[in-house]
Structure 1
Amino acid sequence: MDLSCVHAKSNGFLLRNSFSEIPICWNSRNHTFALEIRRTRKGSLPGYCRYRSVLIRAMGKKNPGNSNSNSSSSGPGNGDHSKAGGDSLKGNNPPPGGNKPGDTSPQKSQCKPLDWREFRALLYIQEQAENEDSVHNQDRTSPGSKSLPLKWAHPISAPENGCLLVATEKLDGVRTFERTVVLLLRSGTRNPQEGPFGVVINRPLHKKMKHMNPTNIELATTFADCSLHFGGPLDASMFLLRAGETTGLPGFEEVIPGVYFGSRNSLDKGSGLVKKGTLRPQDFRFFMGYAGWQLDQLREEIESDYWYVAACSANLISGASQSSSSDGLWEEILQLMGGHYSELSRKPKQDI
């Protein structure tokens, strides 16, 4: 079954730590069911029990195209084909009266289901809201009442593909990385011989590819008006492409849904997609250089508070080239992360 609505109720512990960082999937013949996840606490506090529980409820509706089947008559090969309807994972209610059969007007269209990163972000936002309400001795926000904002960012405990490394104040004065935001293209955890690497996404060079007098024919023609950025101190060039709703682009590696990266070897494929009309030249952003670490090196830098690790919405990454200020995206990410991160975004640079 497709997931149409998820309600998560926490009782005062960090909900995000209760879930693995992979898609959460359910398959049941029932229209609704409940899953209880328990997380054991390492220590106990006065007045608190040893563990708390989180209750996840998912609800689905039968696919109209499969109305003749029911849960009691499903046999081998007749799996559950229920389709999400009504409420979406974003917690939005359907319009009054609901959609009429055959009504496909844009204002009544269904919301796109959340991917696992968005689902995790929604849990984090709901948890923060509950904690804030608890501090102010108010009634706690009911689960699902907080929807996922258009732009979001939140801290995570460890690097992952597609996460951000946000420079801390300890890198003030280090010209290469001062107030930078690095998109980690690979976290380096899958292949021990390959360390983490990524590109700085908030250092526009205010130049276009044609200003560099490229010798590559595709760079000189198809991608001549694409923006150019400083990507890092290591010598190699890469590009990001914003795919939007287009999925499954062969020859490119997906970083997060809708954002891919490629290298010089995949320029011809990128040009081909532009000529076919699948993508536009402005969907590409090119980087001179990249940032790379050994796995232990990055871990040590994070533990030494040189980097904050965060997850964010795709539009913050794809829209980074629109920032006129190098510090603009850095400040925006920290403010969206909230709490003490937001306070740090307003601090002046350290004199070193």
Structure 2
Amino acid sequence: MAKKNSHNNPDSSSSTGNGDQEGEGLKGNNSSDTGSRKSEHKAADWREFRAMLYLNQQSMLNKQDEAVNAESKRLGSKWAHPLTAPETGCVLVATEKLDGVQTFERSVVFLLGSGTRHPQEGPFGVIINRPLHKRIKHMKPVNLHLATTFSECSLHFGGPLEASIFLLKTNGKNNIVVDFEEVIPSLCFGSRNGLDEASGLVKTGVFKPQDFRFFVGYAGWQLDQLREEIEAGLWHVAACSSNLVFGGAHSESLWEEILELMGGSYSELSRKPKQDL
């Protein structure tokens, strides 16, 4: 179950720096400013369009009256729906079969890479509903940027594998961020060798420290391993809006919130007590 995979550590990229626990290995983005803006717009439209199609399909299957149909056509600011297979930018929502597995029970994993583009890396992501209730300064960081620019940022437990990753909410400024990997429109990720640029973007006023979220550790699988776990019923695969991934102070209730938004039997699962294992 979600076994540790040493071959997909973000630190193992060829672009690694000193390889300490803060994490390494970012891929560059060489597209032009105009191209970045166009691709971002198309990607944003595509994800929301797919979500709208799903909601309308469910409305047609389960329609009861005109009021329900009219409501289903409004996507809303927060949305989530099931997927048939994992993809970069989706979330893995733990099922009741992971109750009792301390690291992953009731967890939501944001998949930063699906392993389909670079199969040798395997799928990997960060758990996004495990705040550590500590700020970076409490960890006494030796990195200058973490000790100064990002000292007040909160920390989250990202998974059992050793590396540190940050998410950046770009607020439509993806054309400015050239050294971070875009996961979904408005959200990129980076690691230690991106801290210099990240700090510079804060110091020049492009972003604020609260636009970043820092994770200690990550989760990773071999490609076949994740597929087998999904087939065994350990994970529900879903797409959701970016404001759920990069939520506020209530991330601990994200598991319930996403399942509730997915509706049907998923909504019923969100209200089930944990299994006694």
Deviation per residue, 1:99-155 (Å, 9 max, x gap): xxxxxxxxxxxxx9951000000001111111111xx4x569879971211100000
How many angstroms does 1:264 deviate by? 0.5
Query: What is residue 51 of structure 2 aligned with on the other side?
Result: 121
Matched, 1:235 2:162: yes
3-state secondary structure, aligned to 2:122: coil
Q: Which runs of 4+ in 1 moved over 2 A?
A: 138-145
The unaligned stretches of length 5 or more in structure 2 are: 1-41
Whether the aligned pair in 1 keeps the contact of 2:55 and 2:72 (CA below 8 Å) is no
Q: How does 1:8-27 map to 2 (within 5 A)?
A: none
Cα distance in 2 between the residues matched to 1:145 and 1:193: 41
Query: What is residue 288 of structure 1 aligned with on the other side?
Result: 216
TM-score by length of 1: 0.64
3-state secondary structure, aligned to 1:150: coil
Deviation per residue, 1:263-321 (Å, 9 max, x gap): 101000100110111100011111100000000000000000000000000100111x4
**Counterpart amino acid of 1:123?**
L
Matched, 1:192 2:122: no
Cα distance in 2 between the residues matched to 1:288 and 1:178: 18
Matched, 1:322 2:249: yes
Cα distance in 1 between the residues matched to 2:213 and 2:241: 18
Query: What is residue 196 of structure 2 aligned with on the other side?
Result: 268
Query: What is residue 219 of structure 1 aligned with on the other side?
Result: 146
**Counterpart amino acid of 1:196?**
P
3-state secondary structure, aligned to 1:297: helix
Query: What is residue 260 of structure 2 aligned with on the other side?
Result: 335
Deviation per residue, 1:146-198 (Å, 9 max, x gap): 12111000000000010000000000000000100000000001112110000
Q: How does 1:237-256 map to 2 (within 5 A)?
A: 237-248=164-175, 249-256=177-184
Query: What is residue 130 of structure 1 aligned with on the other side?
Result: 60
Q: How does 1:33-48 map to 2 (within 5 A)?
A: none
Deviation per residue, 1:315-342 (Å, 9 max, x gap): 00111x4116x3x000000000000000
Cα distance in 2 between the residues matched to 1:115 and 1:126: 16
3-state secondary structure, aligned to 2:97: helix
More helix by share: 2
Cα distance in 2 between the residues matched to 1:331 and 1:131: 24
3-state secondary structure, aligned to 1:158: coil
Query: What is residue 346 of structure 1 aligned with on the other side?
Result: 271
Q: How many residues matched? A: 235
Whether the aligned pair in 1 keeps the contact of 2:44 and 2:185 (CA below 8 Å) is no
Query: Using CA pairs below 8 Å that are at least 6 residues apart, which structure has the higher relative contact order?
Result: 2
Q: Max radius of gyration: which structure? A: 1
3-state secondary structure, aligned to 1:175: coil
Query: What is residue 279 of structure 1 aligned with on the other side?
Result: 207
The unaligned stretches of length 5 or more in structure 1 are: 1-111
Whether the aligned pair in 2 keeps the contact of 1:167 and 1:179 (CA below 8 Å) is yes
Whether the aligned pair in 2 keeps the contact of 1:231 and 1:290 (CA below 8 Å) is yes
Query: What is residue 310 of structure 1 aligned with on the other side?
Result: 238
Identity of aligned residues (%): 67
Whether the aligned pair in 1 keeps the contact of 2:59 and 2:69 (CA below 8 Å) is no
Query: What is residue 43 of structure 1 aligned with on the other side?
Result: none
3-state secondary structure, aligned to 2:276: coil
Query: What is residue 156 of structure 1 aligned with on the other side?
Result: 83
TM-score by length of 2: 0.81
